[in-house]
Structure 1
Amino acid sequence: MSNITIYHNPACGTSRNTLEMIRNSGTEPTIIYYLETPPSRDELIKLIADMAISVRELLRKNVEPYEQLHLAQDKFTDDQLIELMLENPILINRPIVVTEIGTRLCRPSEVVLDILPSQQQQAFTKEDGEKVVDKDGKRIK
């Protein structure tokens, strides 16, 4: 069985869809409810590096702290942004999935298919009705 970890927010449809696609591959991942148990500073820095994205790309923009803290302004260093994400985990975009193949911010949720070690076992349709995987377990798009 593969070792897969998802940084998950169950209130998020994208995160729920990603989790279900992981399960549809026959794997039950380690689920980290990052709002309750945020990553450490070192873990967050490693996740960002492993995803090969900028710190700013991981910022979630459509949440209250983003506006309150004026994060749209380009005056913050990466270290400051990381500190703000650790203080306000809602600012960390999600879901983040870690597998032996790679680490990705799974937005849209089907990005997870690029890093799952096992094929989808059956058809999968996202919550909004979009078909992502056909009956043979093959990605549609």
Structure 2
Amino acid sequence: MTHTLTLWHNPACSASRAVLTLLQTHGLDPVVIDYLHERPTLAQLQVLAATPGLGAREILRVKEPLVAELGLDHPDTSDASILAAIAAHPVLLNRPLLTSAQGGRACRPPERAWEIVSP
């Protein structure tokens, strides 16, 4: 996952679409994972969270109401609990997430992609 340019993408999200457009405008063709349709496995999420620049809390979409409902907003919630919840409820995956050989970033704003990708 960290050697190929990979975008964890939600096509309904304007920020996610902006990152994809930004990359494509610069001639980059990332692997696009529509995570709501291609549900990530727990193993994939563990690898994603272990990517330099990311972590379980970084890949959690904290603005999603389900975070509070599941009690994931407590500081003592374990990474394992967060990743299991994302695997069970992919809507909890933060977006857009981009990984490359240089690491991973939650790309809000979209220009954060350049921290791990050369334009």
TM bucket by the smaller chain? 0.7 to 0.9
The separation in 2 between residues aligned to 1:27 and 1:53, in whole angstroms, is 22
| Residue in structure 1 matched with residue 97 of structure 2 by the alignment | 96
Runs of 4+ in 1 over 4 A off after TM superposition: none
Over aligned residues, Cα RMSD in angstroms?
1.9
Structure 2 residue aligned with 1:110? 111
Structure 2 segments unaligned to the other structure (5+ residues)? none
Gaps of 5+ in 1: 120-141
For the 8 Å contact 2:48–2:54, the answer to whether it is kept is no
Correspondence for 1:20: 21
Larger radius of gyration: 1
Alignment coverage as a number of residue pairs: 117
Query: Contact between 1:51 and 1:105, CA under 8 Å: does it hold in 2?
Result: no
1:6/1:95 contact within 8 Å kept: yes
Change (3 A) 1:100 1:52: closer
Q: How does 1:46-85 map to 2 (within 5 A)?
A: 46-85=47-86
Distance 1:115 1:57, change over 3 A: closer
Q: Percent identity?
A: 32
Does the residue aligned with 1:57 lie in a helix, a strand or coil?
coil
User: Which is further off, 13-22 or 107-116?
Assistant: 107-116
Contact 1:25–1:116 under 8 Å retained in 2: no
Report the TM-score, using the length of structure 1 for normalisation.
0.73
Shift of the 114–74 alpha-carbon distance from structure 1 to 2, 3 Å rule, reads closer
Mapped partners of 2:117, 2:78: distance in 1: 33
Shift, 1:68, TM fit? 1.7
Shift of 1:3: 4.1
